[in-house]
Homo-oligomer: A and B are copies of this chain.
Amino acid sequence: MSIGSTVPSSPWTLAQRAARMNPSIIREILKVTEQPGVLSLAGGLPSPDTFPIEAMREATAKVLAEAPREALQYAASEGFGPLREWVAAQLQRQGQQVTPAQVLITTGSQQGLDLVGKVLVDAGAPVAVETPTYLGALQAFAPYEPIFTSLAGDAEGPLPEALARLPHDAPGTRFAYLLPNFQNPTGRVMPEARRQALVQAAQAARLPLVEDNPYGDLWFDEAPPAPLAARWPEGVVYLGSFSKVLAPGLRLGYVVAPAELMPKLLQAKQAADLHTPGFNQRVVYEVIKGGFLDSHVPTIRTRYKAQRDAMAAALAEHLPEGSEWSAPHGGMFFWIRLPAGCNAMALLPGAVAAGVAYVPGEAFYAHAPDTRTMRLSFVTLTPDEIRQAVGMLGGVLRRHLNEELEETTP
């Protein structure tokens, strides 16, 4: 096996782009941390207590009773018509101008990222991302060999100036990939003014946006402002997901795209897997069509908010002085910056040995990772477990800082 050339021992030659594919560091970490006895704050796994199992039972029985032949047959690459209509109606309610014809159902929103990369990214073309950003998006785009540009940002998201400078700094940038709501990994949400400023800068620069919104429904205090796509429909591709509000194991997401992009996205979808399982689409439609999410999502919010509160309190109690974070107003993650002298990756083995796991933040940077950062998920463990886990993490950090102090003190 070789990249771009042939080695006598193997008949296979890998594509150049294979060099840009890497094992997910999170995946590798999850493997290590899936030991019994380790409390994991690493995974971004929704709490299975929120999965609507009874509703799924009823819906699968209904689909298999009423339309089994249609549900099990090949189906349209665009997705199941009524589900596309539901998505369009739902987005209209949050202010987006969307017709069902602009909705493409995907096999999880991860596939939406892959299709966007396939249709929009050439080798060597710049793609702008937040600093830090969602690792899965870097992995989805990377095989199409872009040059990533990291947008400078603050607690409210990327800086509009950074976007405005792109035509100069990275001419030909294909799009900026943005997560306005409770971003993975930082948990930050873009306020109304930042959204306005970013869209204005993007329009002025003729720079399209790819807006990823898996967490928008998981707000604890107030709903986030209207999406970027509502402000510039022809310049934004919008990605949504059922993974966080229903269940990820169904692999159901969607892409909403300007009409001009739909034919190529659809052709890419067809080439990728013909269509998303029709059975899953019909079952989910059956679950949600009567307004199920209107009562279900608030129960998730309540649960996650309590877990967020537990983690906020535990962090305040246990993290060493000099640690920085702010409590997220939604989503699934705390983002921590450790005191000087702490390297989150280097500290991980000791933490796992002590019984707690997290994801080092460096995984989420396209460039120049801040090695003092870490991502903690608060949705998988119970509040009691969260307190215990954060307590252990605090102990690991304090011991490390004390040892450092001893070493540097004569």
- Is residue A234 contacting chain B, with contact meaning CB distance below 8 A? yes
A27 in contact with B77 (CB, 8 Å): yes
CA of A230 to CA of B14 in the docked complex: distance in angstroms?
Answer: 22
CA of A46 to CA of B73 in the docked complex: distance in angstroms?
Answer: 8
A21 in contact with B268 (CB, 8 Å): yes
B57 in contact with A72 (CB, 8 Å): no
CA of A137 to CA of B72 in the docked complex: distance in angstroms?
Answer: 22
CA of A353 to CA of B172 in the docked complex: distance in angstroms?
Answer: 49
CA of A262 to CA of B62 in the docked complex: distance in angstroms?
Answer: 39
A114 in contact with B271 (CB, 8 Å): yes
- Is residue A23 contacting chain B, with contact meaning CB distance below 8 A? yes
- Is residue A16 contacting chain B, with contact meaning CB distance below 8 A? yes
Given contacts A139-B271, A274-B110, contact A208 B27 (CB under 8 A): no
B279 in contact with A21 (CB, 8 Å): no
**Set of chain B residues within 8 Å of A107, measured between Cβ atoms:** 107, 251, 273, 276-277
Q: Which residue of A16, A69, A123, A271 has the most chain B CB atoms within 10 A of its CB atom?
A: A271
B12 in contact with A108 (CB, 8 Å): no
A250 in contact with B279 (CB, 8 Å): yes
A108 in contact with B56 (CB, 8 Å): no
Return the CB mask of A358-384 against B: 1 if under 8 Å, else 0.
Answer: 000000000000000000000000000
**Set of chain B residues within 8 Å of A274, measured between Cβ atoms:** 108, 110, 136, 251
A143 in contact with B268 (CB, 8 Å): yes
- Is residue A10 contacting chain B, with contact meaning CB distance below 8 A? yes
Question: Nearest 9 CB-CB pairs, A to B?
Answer: A48-B69, A72-B247, A21-B267, A72-B249, A249-B278, A251-B277, A53-B68, A107-B273, A111-B273
Given contacts A27-B270, A57-B61, contact A279 B249 (CB under 8 A): yes
- Is residue A272 contacting chain B, with contact meaning CB distance below 8 A? yes
- Is residue A95 contacting chain B, with contact meaning CB distance below 8 A? no
**Set of chain B residues within 8 Å of A277, measured between Cβ atoms:** 107, 249-251, 277, 280
